[in-house]
Amino acid sequence: MKTSSQSDCSNIGQKTSDFCCIIVAAGGGSRFGGELPKQFQPFLGETVLSYTLRSVLRSPKCSECILVTAPGMIEDIQRLVAQFVVSDRSRVTVVSGGSERADSVRNGLISLQGSKTEIVLIHDAARPGLDEATIERLLDALQHHDGAAPALPVVDALKKQEPDSISSVDRTDLFRIQTPQAFKRSSLEGLYGGNHSGALDDFELAQAAGLNLTLVAGSETLSKITYPEDLVRLERLLSDTTIFEYRMGSGYDVHAFEDGSHVTLCGVEIPHTRALKGHSDADVAWHAITDALLGAISDGDIGDHFPPSDPQWKGAPSSVFLKFAADRVAAMGGRIVNIDVTLICEEPKIKPHRDPMRKSTCELLDLHPHQVSIKATTTEGLGFEGRREGIAAQAIVSVALPIRNASATD
């Protein structure tokens, strides 16, 4: 994750079908009420904003995502991104917004300077239900238009209340406009420089500038969260489309001591009078976690993927094995929920090194510290651990895997 000053756009793709997305999250959401701004409200096990962000990042065509927020919220949003965006964090940049929506979008566009992406999507943080089909419709529409927005036809009867009467309004050709609204980047130049007060959204500004615009089919899941009841309704709608199953995995490993000056546990070199013997760096803790992750997705064990007989793994850092297992989880659309490791040994003492070991594991796997637990115990002098012949580690992990997407067309 980058702040605006760190943005170098070096990872921006070259393809014209790629897009950048500006997510506007600067509003206070006064109509929602409550102590927390609505983008920080709990939503399907995370928050509204992180859910929205991940829905955009899920598209492989998204080359960069700019989160525009109020200056006082930048640290909160960076923490939230670190907590919930497991991978692809390098595609996220957080910048400060302005007093009006158009000011915030302008700041987002400024942070894109240097990007080669020709298409910009502008999205509301309070619309978490974006799917890839809508993104594809918007990108298709830009082949023949300067801008496009998702929209739903008005289906309820419309009435206009006047001082002395109520009249009917013809709803034919009336639509509810949603976001993300997609634009050719070149067409946005100059759009946010003038007086934009009163403009409801970017589409309205584009209309006023005479751009060639069109509407594409929107979705009920893209409805905006304005009031608490909207949040409850969307949670129900979206939890019906993606169902996760929670899988457990366990791993166990042992390495014997040999002559040496340190042991490596969770990627941390711990000074000791002995070393752990092994084909790789003998990181018994990360080996146990690797096996637990592979177990959770029924994908064999560490020896299947990295045979000890293969010379290329001699002396290899165990980060290679653990990252491989985490990538296999991610490739299935899954995410690690939590990891709990217990080291079993009389020596060295684990407790003084526990925090660096947690930190190292979190950094490797893009996890938050609350998702990783590292504990240690002795065997009261019994067994090989008690005789100080080696170290054992056992790990238990939980992994969330998507098992059904009811909105999928296949």
Q: At what angle do helices 48-57 and 74-84 cross, to 10 degrees?
A: 60
Q: Write the interaction track for Mg ion spanning residues 363-392; mark x where CB under 5 A is met and - where it is not.
A: ------------------------------
Give whole-number Cα distances, 113 to 8, 53, 186, 256, in Å.
Answer: 9, 21, 12, 55
CB of 287 vs Mg ion, minimal distance in Å: 4
- Judge whether 241 and 403 are in contact, CB under 8 Å: no
**The residue count for the chain:** 410
Q: What angle do CA 343, 345, 348 make, to 5 degrees?
A: 100
Number of residue whose CB is nearest Mg ion: 287
CB of 285 vs Mg ion, minimal distance in Å: 10
- Judge whether 202 and 122 are in contact, CB under 8 Å: yes
| 274 is a site residue for Mg ion (CB under 5 A) | no
Q: How far is Cα 127 from Cα 179, in angstroms, rounded to an integer?
A: 8
CB of 182 vs Mg ion, minimal distance in Å: 50
Compare residues 215 and 263 and give the one whose CB is closer to Mg ion: 263
Candidates 71-79, 131-139, 230-238, 287-295: pick the segment binding Mg ion (CB under 5 A). 287-295
- Judge whether 368 and 339 are in contact, CB under 8 Å: no
Candidates 124-132, 284-292, 329-337, 350-358: pick the segment binding Mg ion (CB under 5 A). 284-292
Size of the site for Mg ion (CB under 5 A): 2
Compare residues 64 and 253 and give the one whose CB is closer to Mg ion: 253
CB of 188 vs Mg ion, minimal distance in Å: 54
Q: What's the farthest any 2 CA atoms get from each other in the chain?
A: 95
Task: Please list the residues that pair with 374 across neighbouring strands.
Answer: 341
Annotate 242-310 with DSSP letters as a single string. EEEEEEEEEEEEEEEEEE-SEEEETTEEEE-SEEE--SS---HHHHHHHHHHHHHTT---HHHHS-TT-
| 291 is a site residue for Mg ion (CB under 5 A) | no
Compare residues 235 and 253 and give the one whose CB is closer to Mg ion: 253
Compare residues 225 and 296 and give the one whose CB is closer to Mg ion: 296
| 106 is a site residue for Mg ion (CB under 5 A) | no
Compare residues 265 and 350 and give the one whose CB is closer to Mg ion: 265
CB of 44 vs Mg ion, minimal distance in Å: 37
Q: How far is Cα 117 from Cα 114, in angstroms, rounded to an integer?
A: 9
Q: Which two tokens stand for residue 52?
A: 């929205």
| 2 is a site residue for Mg ion (CB under 5 A) | no
| 287 is a site residue for Mg ion (CB under 5 A) | yes
Candidates 194-202, 223-231, 251-259, 353-361: pick the segment binding Mg ion (CB under 5 A). 251-259
CB of 147 vs Mg ion, minimal distance in Å: 56
Q: How far is Cα 23 from Cα 68, in angstroms, rounded to an integer?
A: 6
Compare residues 125 and 391 and give the one whose CB is closer to Mg ion: 391
* Tokens 């799917």 found at: 131
Compare residues 18 and 253 and give the one whose CB is closer to Mg ion: 253
Q: How far is Cα 147 from Cα 211, in angstroms, rounded to an integer?
A: 7
Compare residues 19 and 286 and give the one whose CB is closer to Mg ion: 286
Compare residues 20 and 282 and give the one whose CB is closer to Mg ion: 282
| 253 is a site residue for Mg ion (CB under 5 A) | yes
CB of 321 vs Mg ion, minimal distance in Å: 9
**Contacts with Mg ion, residue ranges (CB under 5 A):** 253, 287
